[in-house]
Amino acid sequence: MVKESYYEKDLAKLIQRVLQAGVLLSALFFLLGAAWSGAPAGERFSRAGVLVLLATPAARVAALLYGYARSRQYLFALSAFIVLALLGAAALV
């Protein structure tokens, strides 16, 4: 069995919090959109919920990039950067 280092546990907690925050914020926007259904504000809240939900995986990759760079695992940081760049390019297309 491989022991996780202290920093790996911190990185796992960071990723968990990023994902939880994205899902909870998205759910909040969806609930606000449902509360004002039929109004222009309700549609805006629903769209914001979709955008936050779509941005959550990119935020996870950004957190991984930060964590790998901070722990000096530059090969993993480079791969996370490439994935983030590809996600950004895909969002522009």
Q: Tell me the whole-structure pTM to 2 decimals.
A: 0.83
Give me the average pLDDT of each 10-residue run along the chain (93 residues).
69 95 97 92 95 95 94 94 96 89
State the pLDDT at residue 2.
Answer: 52
pLDDT of residue 7: 78
Does residue 59 contact residue 18 with C-beta atoms inside 8 Å? yes
Read off the tokens for 79.
């791969």
> Are 29 and 48 contacting, i.e. CB atoms less than 8 angstroms apart?
yes
pLDDT of residue 17: 96
> In the prediction, which pLDDT does 8 show?
84
According to the 3-state scheme, what is the secondary structure of the chain? CCCCCHHHHHHHHHHHHHHHHHHHHHHHHHHHHHHCCCCHHHHHHHHHHHHHHHHHHHHHHHHHHHHHHHCCCHHHHHHHHHHHHHHHHHHHC
pLDDT of residue 14: 93
